[in-house]
Amino acid sequence: MKRETALNHVKENIKNKNLLKHMIATEAIMKGLAVKFNEDTEKWGIAGLVHDIDYDETADDPERHSIVGAEMLKELGYDEDIIYAVKVHNDVHGLERKSLIDKALYCTDPLTGLIVASALISPDKKLDKIDEEFVARRFDEKTFARGANREQIKACSDLGLELSEFIGIGLSSMRKISKELGL
């Protein structure tokens, strides 16, 4: 599956511009992690890009989210490892995250929100005006960016990464697409 095709699939299913930006940010971080672990950057990026493809349909039904997405991706002909990573990124189902891509997508998903929220409270509202330390301090503020599940982000340890390194990879990856994100 090519990125352009995946992006078209996402745009056909996702109408919320902020959700689309989240999915593009997840793609960027997944690519950064793929480089770190010497994995297929295209495949990992696509997993990040399509991970919430069903969200417009399942936003009010977390029990269906990611199951529906996995079914959609299967029908569209995505690779089995991408489908499984998408399926298991939602904790509600209690499914085992087996592979590196599964674990990476799981902890990356909420990191994007923490980084975006951190950028938005900086005076310039730009990713290049914040650093890893700034985001790490926000991580410790439990009332800040409440939707960014801290336990899920800390699952970066399942990848063998310290939190600070994971935040650094995420921030660096998102900076590369800051114009696209409007940050």
pLDDT of residue 142 exceeding 90: no
CATH class of domain segment(s) 3-181: mainly alpha
pLDDT of residue 92 exceeding 90: yes
Looking up tokens 């997508």 gives 105
* Structural domain boundaries in the chain: 3-181
CA distance linking residue 61 with residue 58, whole number of Å: 5
Q: Model-level pTM greater than 0.85? A: yes
Under 8 Å between Cβ of 66 and 86: yes
Instruction: Measure CA 164 to chain center.
Output: 17
What's the pLDDT score for residue 1? 87
